[in-house]
Amino acid sequence: MSGAGARGPRGGASRGGAPRGGAPRARISAARLVAYDVLRDVEERDAYANLALSARIGDAGLAARDAALATELAAGALRWRGRYDRIIELAAERPIDRIDPRTRNVLRLGVHQLLGMRTASHAAVNESVELQRRVANASAAGFVNGVLRAIGRETDAAWDARIDAEARTADDALAARSSHPGWVLRALRDALRAEGRADELEALLGADNDAPRVSLALLPGAGIEPEEVAAREESLAVVGPSPIGLELSGGDPARAIARSGAAHGFARVQDQGSQLAALALARAREAAAGERWLDLCAGPGGKTAVLGAEALAAGARLRANEVSAHRAELVRRSVTGVAEAVEVVSHDGREAAAFGGDDARFDRILVDAPCSGLGALRRRPEARWRKRPADLPELTALQGELLDAAVAHLAPGGLLAYVTCSPHLAETRVAVERLRRRRPALEELDARAVLQGIARGPLDLPEGPGAAQLWPHRHGTDAMFIALLTRAA
């Protein structure tokens, strides 16, 4: 086999039986081949893991059980990549970047089976060796065998002890054990420290590594209440802080939505932190008929759908802008149930066209700004390995420009919600402080009090007024930041 490995017609690992003129290959489970392809797509093509998984599972025609195995293999190997890479380095006695990328991915999948899934050692090692022969350099199969056997001889606790013993600093050890880049770990600690809760860091890191439960949003106007849905569909429960939220205990979300009894387009998968962010703008004060609302950075449309449902109920109109034409189409699909209240456009959010002209004014504006995404590491396990500290200046500059554009089109007395799916202080508190220095006519409202009035039950938030930071370990949501501001009338 060539060093590049055999490739199928869609660019994935070949599922064929035997090379021409050769003996039949040992069988490798389709789930493991799919998981390998996903890791390769993420690393070589910058694919999103969830989209790559869906496509590869569909291409392979996996049954539900094998699809679940492929998902656990790929997501687990991506989530724990930092820890597994350090363990591989220790076992192989060489830096991870000196191992061929294809072999690295084979090893990551093997280590996850050994340490993360408790797969029988012989099965994990043997399948990994065969996978190496199939997709990477066959001559390195012995290397894969030796490294995985060495890893399988030690316990999780023993590997953590070795990580600690050979780390240069306590932060380096914690970063490796918790599978977070060091700069992300420090940013999360700083954000917790700002709330006086730096001692919760390890709990937050642990929550980032837990696969999240699927949450659904039941939009206002669905014709049925969350409690009624839970009573008729046993896989759904009224759990979580959002008053329109439900939690799926397992199974296919599409099936649960179909059985929910909700009107078409009124039930959807959505993190409950995202639900609360949209509701905070819609319910911060009573809406009046005829109000004009704007979602400036609308894609892919989850918050837009919530705002659209609220606008429809209040007699308001919502303009949804998304710079990407492809994502704007996703927004249109997301608002099918409330389309009569929503207009979707595609423009750069810093330009007047996004607002409908220089003189356009809106009573409520949501700026759900592009950000580092450090608040969604549970659901996007690959994101932690893609972002760099050097990304922050460009992101924070864009966030500031979008906020300035929004304020220029905010009606006197209007409400502005600034939302990021990140707890990084540069993207949250610092961004708001800088905005208020540039725009002294803005007054910050008590977003914490607004959320306490909206949430299904009391939220564990710091005492005192101010912006609200949600956390996966504390609230079971993405780490969503929500600030509310108003322009003097």
Q: Does residue 63 surpass a pLDDT of 80?
A: yes
For residues 65-81, give the mean pLDDT: 95
Q: How far is residue 363's CA from residue 360's CA, in Å, rounded to a whole number?
A: 10
pLDDT of 318 over the 80 cut? yes
Does 389 show up as a binding residue in the annotation? no
Grade residue 28 by pLDDT with cuts at 50, 70 and 90.
Answer: confident
- Nearest residue to 277 (alpha-carbon basis) of 442, 380, 416, 441: 416
DSSP string, 51-69: HHHHHHHHHHT--HHHHHH
196-210 confidence digits (pLDDT tens): 999 999 999 999 999
Q: Which of 308, 238, 306 is nearest to 277 (CA)?
A: 306
pLDDT at residue 14, as a whole number: 42
Q: What pLDDT is stored for residue 82 in this prediction? A: 97
Please tell me the predicted confidence (pLDDT) of residue 223: 93
Share of residues in the chain with pLDDT > 90 (%)? 92
Question: How far is Cα 304 from Cα 327, in angstroms, rounded to an integer?
Answer: 12
- What integer pLDDT is reported at residue 434 of this predicted model? 98
Residue 3 has pLDDT above 70, yes or no: no
Q: Is the pLDDT of residue 127 over 80?
A: yes
Helix, coil or strand: residue 154: coil
Separation of alpha carbons 415 and 436, rounded Å:
14
134: its two tokens? 């199939």
Which pLDDT tens digit goes with each residue over 430-461? 999 999 999 999 999 999 999 999 999 999 99
Q: How far apart are CA 192 and CA 392, in angstroms?
A: 19
Res 15 pLDDT > 80: no
Query: Residue 71: pLDDT above 60?
Result: yes
Q: Is 371 annotated as a binding residue?
A: no
Residue pointed to by tokens 């340490």: 115
At residue 322, the pLDDT reads 98
- What confidence tier does 26 reach under pLDDT thresholds 50, 70, 90? low
Q: Which helix (H) or strand (E) holds 414?
A: strand 410-420
Asked if the model's pLDDT at residue 1 lies above 50, the reply is: no
Q: Is 194 annotated as a binding residue?
A: no
Could you give the CA distance from residue 419 to residue 376 in angstroms, rounded to a whole number?
Answer: 13
The yes-or-no verdict on residue 250 having pLDDT over 90 is: no
The answer for residues whose C-beta is within 8 angstroms of residue 414's C-beta and 6 or more apart is: 361, 362, 363, 364, 365, 486, 487
End-to-end CA distance of the chain: 72
Is 421 annotated in the active site?
yes
Check whether 298 is labelled as a binding-site residue. Answer: yes
Residue-by-residue DSSP string for 354-376: GTTSTT--EEEEEEE-----GGG
Distance, C-alpha 71 to centroid of its chain: 15
Q: Is the per-residue pLDDT at 19 higher than 50?
A: no
Q: Say which amino acid occupies 408.
A: A
**Rounded Cα–Cα distance for residues 477 and 475 (Å):** 5
Examine the pLDDT at 316 and tell me if it is beyond 80: yes
5: left (phi over 0), alpha (psi -120 to 50) or beta: left
Give me the pLDDT at residue 276, please.
98
pLDDT confidence of residue 8: 34
8 Å CB contact between 8 and 135: no
Residue 10 has pLDDT above 60, yes or no: no
Annotated binding residue 368: yes
Residue 11 makes CB contacts below 8 A (sequence gap 6+) with none
Are 142 and 109 contacting, i.e. CB atoms less than 8 angstroms apart?
no
| Strand spans (E) along 129-255 | 214-218, 236-237, 245-248
Among 47, 417, 421, 480, the active-site one is: 421
Neighbouring C-beta atoms of residue 320, cutoff 10 Å: 28
With pLDDT > 70 as the criterion, what percentage of the chain qualifies?
Answer: 95
Which pLDDT belongs to residue 25? 56
Give pLDDT tens digits for 351-394.
Answer: 999 999 999 999 999 999 999 999 999 999 999 999 999 999 99
Q: What 3-state class would DSSP assign to 155?
A: coil
Task: Please name which of 431, 421, 374, 429 lies closest in space to residue 397, comparing C-alpha atoms.
Answer: 431
Q: Which of 188, 166, 184 is nearest to 95 (CA)?
A: 166
Q: What is the DSSP string of 221-251?
A: TSSS-HHHHHHH-TTEE--SS-TTEEEE-SS
From its phi and psi, is residue 413 left (phi > 0), alpha (psi between -120 and 50) or beta? left
Residue 211 has what pLDDT?
87
Is position 322 annotated in a ligand binding site?
yes
Task: Please determine, for residue 64, whether its predicted confidence score (pLDDT) is greater than 60.
Answer: yes
Tell whether 299 is in a known binding site: yes
Say whether 58 counts as a known binding-site residue.
no
Q: For the chain, what is the mean pLDDT?
A: 93
Q: What is the DSSP letter of 288?
A: -
The pTM (predicted TM-score) of the whole model is 0.92
